[in-house]
Amino acid sequence: MVFKSFSYRVYQYVLLHFMHLVKYQNKVISGKGTVYYIPNILKKQDIKKVLVITGPHIVKSAMFKNIISSFKNKGLICTIFYGTGSETDIKSAEAARSLYIKESCNAIVAIGGGSVTDCAKAAACGIAKQKKSIRSLCGYEKVRKLIPVIVAVPTTAGTGAETTACAVIKDVNGDKKIIADTKICPKYAILDPLMTENLPRDLIAYTGMDALTHATESYINKYSSKGSRKDAETAIFLIIENITNVYYGNGGIVSRQDMLEASYLAGRAFMRTSVGYVHAISHAIGGKYNLPHGMVVAIVLPYVLEWYGSGIDKKLARLSDISGISKNGMSGKQKAQTYINFVKILNQRFSINANFYKSLKKASKSHKTSKNDILSIAKSAIAEANPYYPVPKIMSLKECKHLVQKILRDSYTKANI
Ligand SMILES: [Fe+2]
């Protein structure tokens, strides 16, 4: 394991220093009503025909209809694609690409959560590489060509997809694939709090906790830069300050704007540092039982932070201070534990533990998870994380198995509810 850990660290050191050098050309436009600026932004670049990609629920909303009317009133020709569900699959990305080409569009406007933006990114890669199937573009740096302009308008505050240079898409067999390429970051991110006005409570909690996890994992990872740490600190401060207000419908437009900014900053932070075992284990558990990503990361986060142990105390203590949750006179260790405990408090406050328990029970149709399930989850998590994620401490398969078992056992026994 010692030799393995050393080789992982060398790999991560080289990869992360390359990532810090990448300059993202992402322009952010923030504020109430900024979604209505889009026609002017595009017209300045001589873009007249756009493919608007959205989800099946959003397309029916009055807000979406108003936006499209305003686009048309300002002379923008819109073709609408809403064939993407809660997770983007290759089929819907291929369909979006075909529609774009058929209608001779010049840009894509993605209005929705992370899956909608990921669909736009995957379709745009396919448009840039028309002779290739989108499946063949999955992997790292396979596009390397200018893609059409993407304007991303998030309707959730969590994934950070409006600023990341990757897209997660599901293959026909259900496997998740990733397109990671420095060229696929949306050119414009519109952070308009009007777009998150009617977000259901559970989604506010799941997406907000996802953003908190992005920022936390980025912050504690090795090789984080001064800039990525600053983004992560601001994101964590804003999330802890606003998430409860937004969840209970208080705080109004200002709190929702802050959550959008936090999600964006957390996305920008983890683009430079990657995520860690919280995401690797959550992808494996979520994929196995088909559970919402944000729900699972919220559950897994405190377990992984506790597993890292004293090596991250200093960083968590600083996050605790920044967020205003530590008290005078506390030691560094106590402050670090306060941060972890605060995540647990949020999970209880937003009923995430109870929802996880119910969903897990329903998905696995029993009160127990088989040893085979635990092993396959652990194997998948380790394969995702090692050697790629520059985590504070390297986890072995055996350690991962124990941790997964603990997470699932506590959830099945309602230990955390
Ligand atoms: Fe995430």
Compute the half-sphere exposure of residue 228: CA atoms within 13 Å on the CB side of its CA.
27
76: pLDDT confidence band, cut at 50, 70 and 90? very high
**Alpha carbon of 293 to ligand 1 centroid (Å):** 7
Q: Which of 57, 48, 114 is nearest to 83 (CA)?
A: 57
What is the SS3 assignment for 277?
Answer: helix
**Alpha carbon of 11 to ligand 1 centroid (Å):** 23
Instruction: Report the distance separating Cα 287 and Cα 281, nearest Å.
Output: 10
| CATH classification number, 200-412, choose in 1.10.1060.10, 1.10.1740.10, 3.40.50.300, 1.20.1090.10 | 1.20.1090.10
Lowest mean pLDDT among 12-16, 68-72, 108-112, 288-292: 12-16
**Alpha carbon of 7 to ligand 1 centroid (Å):** 26
364: pLDDT confidence band, cut at 50, 70 and 90? confident
**Alpha carbon of 404 to ligand 1 centroid (Å):** 18
**Alpha carbon of 208 to ligand 1 centroid (Å):** 10
Q: Which of 164, 123, 113 is nearest to 147 (CA)?
A: 123
**Alpha carbon of 166 to ligand 1 centroid (Å):** 12
**Alpha carbon of 143 to ligand 1 centroid (Å):** 23
**What percent of the chain is predicted at pLDDT more than 70?**
94
**Alpha carbon of 77 to ligand 1 centroid (Å):** 34
Structural domain boundaries in the chain? 33-191, 200-412
**Alpha carbon of 307 to ligand 1 centroid (Å):** 19
| pLDDT, the chain, mean | 92
Instruction: Report the distance separating Cα 364 and Cα 85, nearest Å.
Output: 23
**Alpha carbon of 279 to ligand 1 centroid (Å):** 6
Would you say residue 17 has pLDDT above 70? no
Instruction: Report the distance separating Cα 152 and Cα 359, nearest Å.
Output: 31
**Alpha carbon of 283 to ligand 1 centroid (Å):** 9
**Alpha carbon of 161 to ligand 1 centroid (Å):** 10
Q: Which two tokens stand for residue 241?
A: 């300050």
Strands (E), 157-260: 166-170, 176-180, 188-191
Fold entry, domain 33-191: Rossmann fold (3.40.50)
288: Cβ contacts below 8 Å, ≥ 6 apart: 373, 376, 377
Instruction: Report the distance separating Cα 168 and Cα 116, nearest Å.
Output: 11
Sheet of 166-170, strands arranged across = 139-140, 176-180, 166-170
Lowest mean pLDDT among 4-13, 320-329, 353-362: 4-13
Would you say residue 25 has pLDDT above 70? no
Would you say residue 365 has pLDDT above 80? no
Lowest mean pLDDT among 23-32, 69-78, 224-233, 383-392: 23-32
C-beta contacts of 367-371 below 8 A and 24+ residues apart: 367/412, 368/412, 369/408, 369/412
Would you say residue 416 has pLDDT above 80? no
pTM higher than the cut 0.85? yes
Please say whether the beta carbons of 326 and 320 come within 8 A: yes
Strands (E), 96-162: 107-112, 139-140, 149-154
**Alpha carbon of 384 to ligand 1 centroid (Å):** 14
**Alpha carbon of 242 to ligand 1 centroid (Å):** 19
**Alpha carbon of 89 to ligand 1 centroid (Å):** 17
